[in-house]
């Protein structure tokens, strides 16, 4: 709650209108609260992290970025992946999709093109939506970039499933 409260002074403009997180003046954030909260989040994550710890970790990633464009969206997507396993709700899926779209926006400049999770994060929602060709394209790129054999097998298995679905349609 400290992290969410730390951003309270920047959430509304002078007219009382909402200000998007990416447009907030981070100089208005209560940095003492952020400094106080970050070690608590780290401690919560060292144990078996539950949904609240993961939500706090997501808030911590936002609060740790000095500028909106410095936000580590890849980390936020990974945290939402974990959170979705614990609480597979539509709201969490929507928030994860928003984080994926932000990571995709970052990818547009090519900076993440060699990062396997970018391609995996593109492939999974496309597969769920039945966009087999688009999902397969991303699944083909990801295994070539991954260094972890378990992740490679996971991605290759999903590629085979998508290709099978594509062939059936």
The answer to the question of residue 64 being in a domain is yes
> HEC profile for the chain?
CHHHHHCHHHCECCCCCECCHHHCCHHHCCHHHHHHHHHHHHHHHHCCCCHHHHHHHHHHHHHHCCCHHHCCHHHHHHHHHHHHHHCCCHHHHHHHHHHHHHHHHHHCCCCCCCCHHHHHHHHHHHHHCCCHHHHHHHHHHHHHHCCCHHHHHHHHHHHHHHHHHHHHC
Residue 127's domain comprises 113-169
Distance CA(92)–CA(73), nearest Å, equals: 15
pLDDT band per the 50, 70, 90 thresholds, residue 88: very high
On whether both 36 and 117 belong to a single domain, the answer is: no
Q: Vertex 70, ends 80 and 16: CA angle to 5°? A: 85
Domain-ending residue, one of 88, 122, 139: 88
The answer to the question of residue 53 being in a domain is yes
On whether both 13 and 77 belong to a single domain, the answer is: yes
**What is the arithmetic mean of pLDDT over 43-55?**
92
The answer to the question of residue 106 being in a domain is no
On whether both 77 and 132 belong to a single domain, the answer is: no
Tens digit of each residue's pLDDT (9 = 90 or more) over 97-151: 888 888 777 666 676 778 777 777 777 777 777 788 888 888 888 888 888 887 8
Distance CA(58)–CA(165), nearest Å, equals: 34
On whether both 1 and 84 belong to a single domain, the answer is: yes
pLDDT of residue 25: 96
On whether both 62 and 142 belong to a single domain, the answer is: no
State the total domains in the chain: 2
The answer to the question of residue 107 being in a domain is no
Mean pLDDT (the chain, rounded): 87
Burial profile 8-47: b = 16 or more Cβ within 10 angstroms, e = fewer: eebeeeeeeeeeeeeebebeebbeebbeebbeebeebbee
Verdict on whether the full-model pTM lies above 0.85: no
Share of the chain above pLDDT 90, in %: 46
């Amino acid at each position: 709650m400290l992290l969410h409260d730390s951003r309270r002074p920047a959430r509304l403009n002078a007219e009382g209108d909402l200000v998007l997180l990416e447009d907030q003046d981070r100089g208005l954030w209560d940095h003492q609260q952020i400094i106080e909260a970050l070690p608590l989040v780290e401690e919560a994550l060292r144990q078996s992290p539950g949904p609240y710890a993961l939500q706090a970790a997501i808030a911590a990633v936002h609060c740790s970025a000095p500028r909106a464009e410095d936000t580590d969206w890849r980390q936020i997507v990974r945290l939402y992946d974990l959170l979705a396993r614990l609480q597979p709700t539509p709201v969490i899926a929507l928030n994860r999709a928003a984080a994926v779209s932000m990571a995709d926006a970052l990818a547009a400049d090519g900076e993440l093109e060699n990062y396997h999770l970018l391609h995996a994060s593109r492939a999974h929602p496309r597969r769920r939506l039945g966009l087999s060709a688009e999902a397969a394209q991303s699944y083909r790129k990801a295994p070539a970039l991954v260094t972890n054999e378990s992740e490679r097998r996971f991605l290759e298995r999903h590629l085979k499933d998508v290709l099978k679905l594509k062939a059936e349609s």
